[in-house]
């Protein structure tokens, strides 16, 4: 874990711009074209997914009839008109919670020298004053990666070096203690400014360690960014525990998808998939026959078909389509790709941040035996 000392006063250079209005992320960046493909959602059915991964579903059919087109009447000559240039479109607005932009955040610090959990920070920034259940779930799903900051009374580095017990900040809600965590340097600074206690330091802790601490103790839950209202959230213990039981203990796939993209990111994601982390698919009724079930897929604007896979069931909930989350073994995914040559690859976590992998990039997965 990293240790950071807290300044007693805020340097002028560290001043932040005014708080964004509800619904706007602080670092809403438009994704490059190759990272935010235009997709249409449909359901396709595949045999061979396996009884352990879900019900048997019908095979897809491409036998739709094409009606013969009748000749069009001759069109009259178009009148001459003067056209003004069309306005240039601005960057796309941030999707409403529980969704997120397709590309991971690129602004990683709000206080120089402290790297934020930018994805969690931006999800909190998008919270309205009175968030709905799905919006809170949108924050929870973005908590499942990276790190958070914890406040410590006194100098944490000195306490640790001297072998002393480190006391982290907690909040009392009723008769329960809630762990206080912070998504960013800005949220930490706001907490210090709110309570006036500058004699504190901050500890950077992996979220996986924080959640183990929660589950292993008698805490009632987690409060994130408590002094940053309305962009704060209280996560009760029961929903956090349920999320933890369904997650990869180290959040490996989610962490890769939320990190700044590098040239080898697709290769690294494919290599991780070959290690068989927990994966889910979204299952729902087929459009053409609601008595049969199918796996959600995406179709790119050029017609390429991609299987949708998810790093956690909350990623499916965030889609808001009423589908059921079904675990799928990576070997089954590889078999599906081998047996259906018309599948162009996969789309991972379409609620954002997302990534697409082609068949060639998925070679390590397709090479897996059952």
pLDDT at 37 over 50: no
Least confident of 24-33, 90-99, 101-110, 260-269: 24-33
Span 33-61, mean pLDDT?
Answer: 37
Q: How far apart are CA 104 and CA 101, in angstroms?
A: 7
Long-range contacts made by residues 285-292, C-beta under 8 angstroms, separation at least 24? 285/43, 286/43, 286/45, 286/57, 286/58, 287/42, 287/43, 289/58, 292/45, 292/57, 292/58
What average pLDDT does the chain have?
80
The candidate with the shortest Cα–Cα distance to 299, out of 43, 3, 8, 26, is 43
Instruction: For residue 274, give every residue at least 6 positions away whose Cβ sits within 8 Å of its Cβ, in sequence order, or none.
Output: 330, 364, 365, 367, 368
Please report which confidence band the pLDDT of residue 332 belongs to, taking 50, 70 and 90 as the band edges: very high
Q: Which residue has the higher pLDDT, 92 or 341?
A: 341
The candidate with the shortest Cα–Cα distance to 214, out of 172, 170, 246, 255, is 170
Least confident of 75-79, 236-240, 274-278: 75-79
Q: How far apart are CA 105 and CA 86, in angstroms?
A: 30
pLDDT of residue 161: 84
Span 159-179, mean pLDDT?
Answer: 87
Pairing state of beta strands 305-309 and 343-348? parallel
pLDDT of residue 93: 81
pLDDT of residue 168: 87
pLDDT of residue 144: 97
Helix (H) or strand (E) holding 49: none
Span 153-180, mean pLDDT?
Answer: 87
Span 158-167, mean pLDDT?
Answer: 81
pLDDT of residue 23: 29
Dump pLDDT digits (tens) for 38-48: 344 444 443 33
Q: Which residue has the higher pLDDT, 268 or 202?
A: 268
Pairing state of beta strands 343-348 and 293-300? unpaired
Q: Which residue has the tokens 């729902």?
A: 284
Q: Which residue has the tokens 């078909």?
A: 305
pTM tops 0.85, yes or no: no
Helix (H) or strand (E) holding 173: strand 170-173
pLDDT of residue 2: 47
Dump pLDDT digits (tens) for 200-223: 888 999 999 999 999 999 999 999
pLDDT at 31 over 50: no
Please report which confidence band the pLDDT of residue 291 belongs to, taking 50, 70 and 90 as the band edges: confident
**Domains annotated on the chain, with CATH:** 39-50+261-366 (3.40.1350), 106-246 (no CATH)
Is residue 179 a contact partner of residue 168, using CB atoms and an 8 Å limit?
yes
Dump pLDDT digits (tens) for 71-127: 444 444 444 444 445 555 555 688 999 999 999 999 999 999 999 999 999 999 999
Pairing state of beta strands 2-5 and 200-206? antiparallel
pLDDT of residue 68: 38
Q: How far apart are CA 36 and CA 34, in angstroms?
A: 6
Span 352-370, mean pLDDT?
Answer: 94
Decide: helix, strand or coil at residue 363: helix
Is residue 355 a contact partner of residue 308, using CB atoms and an 8 Å limit?
no
Least confident of 67-71, 316-320, 325-329: 67-71
Span 291-306, mean pLDDT?
Answer: 92
Helix (H) or strand (E) holding 160: helix 156-161
Please report which confidence band the pLDDT of residue 10 belongs to, taking 50, 70 and 90 as the band edges: very low
Structure token digits, residue 331: 């070997």
The phi-psi region of residue 35 (left if phi > 0; otherwise alpha if psi is between -120 and 50; otherwise beta) is: alpha
CA angle 336, 42, 338 (to 5 degrees): 15
Please report which confidence band the pLDDT of residue 14 belongs to, taking 50, 70 and 90 as the band edges: very low
Please report which confidence band the pLDDT of residue 57 belongs to, taking 50, 70 and 90 as the band edges: very low
């Amino acid at each position: 874990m990293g240790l950071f000392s807290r300044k007693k006063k805020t340097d002028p250079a560290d001043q932040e711009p005014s708080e964004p209005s509800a619904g706007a992320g602080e670092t809403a960046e438009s994704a490059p074209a190759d990272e935010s493909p235009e997709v249409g959602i449909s359901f396709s059915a595949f045999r061979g997914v396996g009884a352990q991964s879900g019900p048997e579903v019908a095979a897809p059919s491409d036998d739709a009839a094409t009606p013969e087109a009748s000749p069009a009447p001759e069109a009259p000559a178009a009148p001459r008109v003067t056209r003004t240039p069309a306005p240039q479109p601005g960057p796309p607005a941030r999707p409403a919670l529980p969704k997120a932009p397709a590309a991971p955040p690129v602004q990683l610090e709000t206080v120089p020298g402290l790297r934020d959990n930018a994805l969690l920070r931006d999800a909190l920034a998008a919270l309205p004053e009175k968030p709905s259940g799905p919006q809170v779930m949108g924050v929870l799903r973005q908590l499942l990666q990276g790190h958070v900051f914890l406040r410590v009374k006194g100098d944490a580095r000195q306490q640790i070096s001297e072998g002393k017990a480190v006391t982290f900040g907690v909040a009392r809600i009723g008769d329960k203690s809630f762990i206080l965590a912070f998504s960013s340097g800005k949220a930490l600074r706001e907490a210090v400014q709110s309570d006036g206690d500058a004699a504190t330091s901050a500890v950077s802790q992996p979220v996986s360690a924080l959640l183990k601490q929660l589950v292993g103790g008698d805490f009632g839950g987690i409060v994130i960014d408590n002094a940053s209202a309305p962009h704060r959230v209280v996560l009760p213990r029961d929903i956090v525990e349920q999320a933890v039981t369904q997650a990869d203990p180290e959040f490996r796939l989610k962490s890769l998808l939320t990190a700044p993209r590098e040239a080898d990111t697709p290769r690294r994601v494919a290599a991780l998939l070959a290690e068989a982390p927990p994966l889910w698919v979204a299952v729902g009724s087929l459009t053409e026959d609601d008595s049969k079930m199918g796996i959600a897929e995406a179709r790119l604007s050029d017609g390429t078909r991609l299987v949708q896979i998810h790093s956690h069931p909350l990623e499916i909930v965030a889609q808001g389509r009423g589908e059921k989350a079904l675990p799928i073994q990576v070997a089954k995914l590889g078999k599906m790709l081998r047996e259906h040559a018309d599948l162009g690859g996969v789309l991972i976590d379409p609620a954002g941040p997302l990534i697409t992998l082609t068949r060639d990039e998925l070679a390590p997965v397709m090479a897996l035996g059952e």
